[in-house]
Structure 1
Amino acid sequence: MVATDSKVVKLGRYNVQQGQSSVSGLSSGAFMTVQLHLAHSASFVGAGIIAGGPFRCAESFPGAAPVAEDAYIQNSLYICLNPLVPHTAPNAEHLAQLARQTAAAGEIDPVEHLGDDKVYIFTGSKDEVVFSDTVARTKRFYELLGIKAEHIDYDDTVPAGHSIITQNPEDSPLGTNQPPYINQGDFVQSHRILEHIHGKLKPAVERPTGRLVRFDQREFLDFLADDDKKARRDSMSDFGYAYIPKAVEDGEPARVHIALHGCKQGYNYVEYTNGRRDTQSSPPYGNRYVTTTGYNELADANNFIILYPQAEGTDNGYTQNPEGCWDWWGYSSANAQRPDYYSRSAIQIRAIHDMLKRLGG
């Protein structure tokens, strides 16, 4: 059982190895993983993408609607999540060129930093939320940006629904497509991700001896103007989590891995009814993405800090994100005509990267 601090602590600094960080995520966390990987590719050595599409996927077809904001929503639904036929899935060539243009404009790191990175990409063959046609384009996208074929672990063979896979007997059946989006299989997916990116690792421990700390995410949003704070454009929870192995607390060198949950998986997710938080319908799974997906057990054996940023639902006159998703279509951007959700200046990307810098990575 992981020991959790009962109090809120300030996120600390540790003996982190520079340039050895990585990131992974499921669903909206996977789309955000790609964005964070591209925005700060100089900071990362690899990424793990479970059911996620390529960079700026929601801008695949700008002419989808006369209003830009509507076009992003329609792209996200009918091109990125559920393309009607394979031909309508995201155009990897177009989005790779868009990534190069974004880098040339100075909005993300140069794509040349991606050259030696390792990428794990997974789509369950029974996923009914993010179709496999989209995830296949993510593989092609990374290939076009120069990542070697032997550095990409692409798996579309497992009959899994929309989920991260564990070996926990209490998790949902493998083919399930419903919350909490944590399904039982015959392998631990978080372990596969970390081992593909970082190479051979020591086996996971049965009982982690480190601490799961709770920290205040709001200090990483101090750069926001008061109006943006009021509008909750960030759509981030008050608190985030980080798993710190005891050896790392004692000063041993560490690496940082950022694990991004999907929609409806944040620690304080609640349903929205008619635009209001329905606290009577709070789901019972709470922080299971933080505590039961296997990251901490492998981290404890290999001196990884696991950073778990948290998004939450927001549904008001400014920000529509009732399912608590990470922003991969522009809801956090002040300018709907030219959103910046994918760039180094994006609210969520800036906050998460500042957390990484605080840790020492």
Structure 2
Amino acid sequence: MRSTAWSAALLFAVCASAAADDGRGLRRGGNPADVSISGLSSGAAMAVQYAVAHSGSVTGVGSVAGPLWGCAEGSLSRAVNACLCGRGPLPATLDAARRLAADGAIDAPAAGLPRRLRRAYLFQSPADETVAAASGAANAAFLADFIGHPPEIDRGNARDGSDRAGHGIIAPGPGTDACTVDGRETNFIRSCGAEDNAGRMFHALFGEGSGDAPGRRIDAIPESEIWSFDQRGLIDAARVERPSIADDSLNVFWIPTTSPRRRNLDMADRGYLYVPPSCRSAGSACRVHVALHGCRQDARTFALRAGYNNWAEAYRTIVVYPAIAPGQSLPGAVCEAPPLSEAVDAAWFEPNPNGCWDWWGYLDTASRRGRYLTRAAPQMRVLDAIIAAVTAPRPD
């Protein structure tokens, strides 16, 4: 349950965001009882973290090429070596979720408050070179135990080669990377024939679609229909209690410092939004789906090409694309490098060079280890504010 102070901060952020977007408004009157979330890679990890922490309000979750929930246990070396590259045992994370629920740090089923999270979809290519198959399989098993039945699992197929796809989200259409790894990846949105992760996901999370457009994919969405919104007021709301945030750099005297990017919780100034035509009128009360990009991805490109918008009208769903600020984008595939030394876990600063969502705790100081999995996590609180805004009544 949110505190009164946090609820007031959310209300302030909603009102502030309405005056700071591109004029169309983040307040869309979406249905607060029908909110789901998904993501790619680190976005998939964050999507599952958010859904698990808010299982009393989120209805469905999608994970595309994501690692096991809670796998990193606050350790960057474990995140890379075990959770991504399969170099080590994976933890039994269901017990960790139960402990967090018992402590009140995440939603817990209680009398009169049943768990709303009931549907899940996972895509994991066996040829993914970034997230080990074992980590993806463990994530599927975790979700099956957590929601009480197996999620829909998509491993691609041999007909279009999607079972050999490299790390990324698969969407038909132009401007995408090759299906298999070729070393020329630019956006990690891959084309593998007719395979369509967003379409499969929405069917798994929502069913057959609306009565007037069952299962119909719209092939082309004009770029002008992807609206932007200002995240800065929403980020400020997440900092209302001034939680301690880990430094992310060193100055010339080798003293840890906090960059402006880190003060913004590593989030970008602007996020993106697609409102299908049937959801633009007052009182439409459409579903809301939050879609999170992955590391080293441009958020606007993800919003344009990842395939969600093409299905939004069929499922009467507003799609929101929160954004992380880009990093320096270190070159090369992470699992081609030697194992990461545990010495990095003792560092005085916590960088995020590839612009990832916080799925290993890079925002947490030593005294706040494990916060990143809870409702109190700073980026989780920004997502709270975004969802509160898009489900707020339209101002007209």
Q: Shorter-chain TM-score: what band? A: 0.7 to 0.9
1:200 aligns with 2:200: no
Residue type matched to 1:307 in 2? V
Q: 1:83: how far off?
A: 1.1
Q: 1:39: how far off?
A: 1.1
What residue is the counterpart of 2:356 in the other structure? 325
What residue is the counterpart of 2:310 in the other structure? 297
What residue is the counterpart of 2:289 in the other structure? 257
Give the 5 Å matches for 1:264-279: 264-267=296-299
Greater strand share, structure number: 1
Alignment match of 2:230 (pick from 216, 219, 226): 216
The separation in 2 between residues aligned to 1:314 and 1:331, in whole angstroms, is 14
What residue is the counterpart of 1:154 in the other structure? 153
Question: Against the structure 1 CA distance between its residues 320 and 314, is the aligned structure 2 distance closer, same or farther, given a 3 Å change threshold?
Answer: farther
Q: 1:227: how far off?
A: 8.1
The separation in 2 between residues aligned to 1:12 and 1:175, in whole angstroms, is 37
Describe the SS at the equivalent of 1:49: strand
Aligned residues of 1:23 and 1:258 also touching (Cα < 8 A): yes
Q: State the Cα deviation string for residues 32-53 of structure 1 (Å, max 9, x = none).
A: 0110111111221111101112
Aligned residues of 1:167 and 1:184 also touching (Cα < 8 A): yes
The separation in 1 between residues aligned to 2:170 and 2:355, in whole angstroms, is 21
What residue is the counterpart of 1:276 in the other structure? none
Question: Against the structure 1 CA distance between its residues 122 and 89, is the aligned structure 2 distance closer, same or farther, given a 3 Å change threshold?
Answer: farther
What residue is the counterpart of 1:34 in the other structure? 48
What residue is the counterpart of 1:238 in the other structure? 269
The separation in 1 between residues aligned to 2:372 and 2:320, in whole angstroms, is 20
The separation in 2 between residues aligned to 1:290 and 1:354, in whole angstroms, is 19
Name which of structure 1's ranges 295-304 and 204-213 shifts more when overlaid on structure 2: 204-213
Describe the SS at the equivalent of 2:61: strand
For the aligned residue pairs, the C-alpha RMSD in angstroms reads 2.6
Give the 5 Å matches for 1:129-208: 129-149=130-150, 152-157=151-156, 158-176=163-181, 178-185=185-192, 186-201=194-209, 202=214, 203-208=216-221
Aligned residues of 1:211 and 1:246 also touching (Cα < 8 A): no
Aligned residues of 1:19 and 1:42 also touching (Cα < 8 A): no
Question: Against the structure 1 CA distance between its residues 115 and 44, is the aligned structure 2 distance closer, same or farther, given a 3 Å change threshold?
Answer: closer
Aligned residues of 1:89 and 1:134 also touching (Cα < 8 A): no
What residue is the counterpart of 1:56 in the other structure? 70
What residue is the counterpart of 1:65 in the other structure? none
1:127 aligns with 2:101: no
TM value normalised by structure 2: 0.74
The separation in 1 between residues aligned to 2:376 and 2:139, in whole angstroms, is 23
Describe the SS at the equivalent of 1:128: coil
What residue is the counterpart of 1:90 in the other structure? 90
Question: Against the structure 1 CA distance between its residues 180 and 172, is the aligned structure 2 distance closer, same or farther, given a 3 Å change threshold?
Answer: same
The separation in 2 between residues aligned to 1:115 and 1:255, in whole angstroms, is 15
Question: How high is the sequence identity, in percent, across the aligned residues?
Answer: 30
Describe the SS at the equivalent of 2:56: helix
* Structure 1 alignment gaps of length 5 or more: 1-6, 60-68, 268-286
Question: Against the structure 1 CA distance between its residues 124 and 114, is the aligned structure 2 distance closer, same or farther, given a 3 Å change threshold?
Answer: farther
TM value normalised by structure 1: 0.81
